[in-house]
Amino acid sequence: MTLYDFTVKNNVGEVVSLADYKGKALLVVNTATKCGLTPQYEALEALYKKLKDKGFEILDFPCNQFMGQAPGSDEEITAFCTLNYGTTFPRFAKIDVNGKNADPLYVWLRQQAPEDKGDAESQAFEKKVKLLKPRAKAGDIKWNFGKFLIGKDGNVVARYSPAYRPEQLEADIEALL
């Protein structure tokens, strides 16, 4: 099984096969519009603009599971991201990434890469998150802006901490292109 075996709904409710992204390096991110990490949208868009012509895509999955930080409809979230951050990468319907209602894509992603990569800043962030989510299970997505790097073959290459800045991923992405 690879990422290409999944279908998801886009931000206007249409079913999309992730096989449409075959042959591209992908960054799958669960996002939120009212999170301390929301400014990462700016860095994500910069990375996208720089690398999209080389075969790179970002797949944005809004998630409201972390202190209700992604309120609003899919339409409102898209308007916010476009207006405030000028995002142009694909955005999908709001989903759950943990728990019994987790989207099957995220169940699979968590199984493929149960641990986040990060740096000292990421570790400090995750200590704070543990205080807010003390019942989190091993392998769960820790917060908004968790990132999965997917190779051109549809397999997970790495998982990065929410606090790991998008610009720090550039060399890893370039290696896949």
Among residues 27, 28, 35, 59, which one is catalytic?
35
Is the separation of the CB atoms in 135 and 154 below 8 Å?
no
Look up the pTM and report it: 0.96
Residues 115-136 pLDDT 10s: 999 899 988 988 888 888 777 7
Q: How confident is the model at residue 24 (pLDDT cuts 50, 70, 90)?
A: very high
35 is catalytic: yes
Compute how many other C-beta atoms are within 10 angstroms of the C-beta atom of residue 79: 13
Q: Which class is domain 3-176?
A: alpha beta
Mean predicted confidence (pLDDT) in 100-106: 97
Is the separation of the CB atoms in 163 and 35 below 8 Å?
no
Domain ranges of the chain: 3-176
